[in-house]
Chains A and B, each alone.
Chain A
Amino acid sequence: MNAVKNNTQGAKGSVMVVGSGIAGMQTALDLADSGFYVYLIEKKASIGGAMAQLDKTFPTNDCAM
Chain B
Amino acid sequence: MDKCIACGACTEKCPKKVTDHFNAGLAKRKAIYVDYPQAVPLKYAIDPETCIYIVKNGRCGVCQKVCPTDAIDFDQTDKTINIKVGSVIMAPGFSTFDPSGLDNYQYSQYPNVVTSMEMERILSATGPFNGHLIRPSDDKEPKKVAWLQCIGSRDINKCDNSYCSSVCCMYAIKEAVIAKEHSGGKLDTAIFYMDMRTYGKEFEGYYERAKNEQKVRFIRSRIHTIEEDRETNNLILKYVDDQGKILTEIFDMVVLSVGMQTPKDVVDLADRLDIKLNDNKFVETDSFNPVSTSRPGIFVCGSFQEPKDIPMAVMEASAAACDAQTILSGARNSLTKEKTFPKERDVSDQEPRIGVFVCNCGTNIGGIVDVPSVAEMAKTLPDVVYVEENLFTCSQDTQEKLIEVIEKNNLNRIVVAACTPRTHEALFQETLKEAGLNKYLFEMANIRNQCSWVHSKEKDEATKKAKILVQMAISRARRIKPLKQPTISIDSNALVIGGGIAGMTAALGLADQGFHTSIVEKSNQLGGAALKLDSTWLGEDIGQNLKKMIRKVNNNSLIDVYTDSIIKNASGFIGNFETTITKSEAESEKEINIKHGAIIVTVGATEYQPSEYLHGQDEMIFTHLAFDMALKTNDKKIASANSAVFIQCVGSRETDRPYCSKVCCTHSIKSAIKLRNLDPEKDVYIIYRDIRTYGQRESLYKEARDKGVIFIRYDVENKPKVEKSGENLKVTIKDHVLNRNLEIDTDIIVLASAIIPGDNQDLAKMFKLSLTQDNFFNEAHAKLRPVEFATEGIFMAGMAHYPKPIEESIAQAKAAASRAAVALSKDSLTVEGIVSFIDTSMCRGCGECEKACPFNAIILEETDETGESKIAYVQAALCKGCGACSVACPTGAASIHNYDDEIVLTMIESALEV
Binding site for B on A (CB under 8 A): 1-7, 10-27, 30-37, 39, 44-62, 65
Contacts and interface: CB of A to CB of B under 8 A. Distances in A.
8 contacts: A15-B328, A21-B91, A23-B302, A24-B93, A27-B91, A32-B336, A56-B123, A59-B205
Contacts, number: 214
Contacts of A30: 317-318, 321-322, 818-819, 821-822
Q: Does more than half of chain B's interface fall in helix, strand or loop, or is it mixed?
A: mixed
Nearest to B84: A11
Interface stretch (B308-316, B602-610, B742-750): B308-316
A15 B318 contact: no
Given A26-B317, A27-B318, A45-B43, A34 B822 contact: yes
Contacts of B170: 58
Given A21-B91, A22-B317, A23-B316, A53 B120 contact: yes
Contacts of A52: 22, 35-36, 38-39
Nearest to B313: A23
Contacts of A54: 120, 124
B35 A18 contact: no
Contacts of B783: 57, 62
A11 B825 CA distance: 20
A34 B141 CA distance: 50
B124 A55 contact: yes
B156 interface: no
A23 B317 contact: yes
Interface centre among A27, A45, A61 (most CB of B within 10 A): A27
B822 A59 contact: no
A3 B338 CA distance: 7
B386 interface: no
A50 B317 contact: no
A18 B300 CA distance: 9
Contacts of A14: 83-86, 335
Interface string B69-105: 0000000000000011111111111100000000000
A15 B85 contact: yes
B178 interface: yes
Contacts of A25: 317
A36 to B, nearest CB: 7
A7 to B, nearest CB: 8
Contacts of A7: 335
A59 B203 contact: yes
Contacts of B332: 13, 34-36
A24 B338 CA distance: 23
B202 interface: yes
B331 interface: yes
B825 A34 contact: yes
Given A5-B337, A24-B302, A46-B40, A18 B328 contact: no
Given A3-B337, A30-B822, A39-B83, A10 B331 contact: yes
A33 B818 CA distance: 10
Contacts of A47: 40-41
Given A4-B335, A17-B88, A21-B302, 10 more contacts: A2-B337, A4-B336, A11-B84, A12-B331, A15-B328, A19-B302, A21-B313, A23-B317, A24-B93, A33-B822
B38 A65 contact: yes
B506 to A, nearest CB: 14
B394 to A, nearest CB: 17
Contacts of B45: 45-46
A27 to B, nearest CB: 4
Contacts of B85: 11, 14-16, 39
A14 B332 CA distance: 9
B258 interface: no
B317 A27 contact: yes
Interface centre among A10, A31, A54 (most CB of B within 10 A): A31
A36 B822 contact: no
Contact of B325 (A17, A22, A34, A37): A34
Nearest to A21: B93
B40 A13 contact: no
A55 B132 CA distance: 12
A47 B85 CA distance: 21
A31 B34 contact: no
Contacts of B301: 23-24, 26-27
Contacts of B557: none
A27 B36 contact: no
Contacts of A50: 93-94
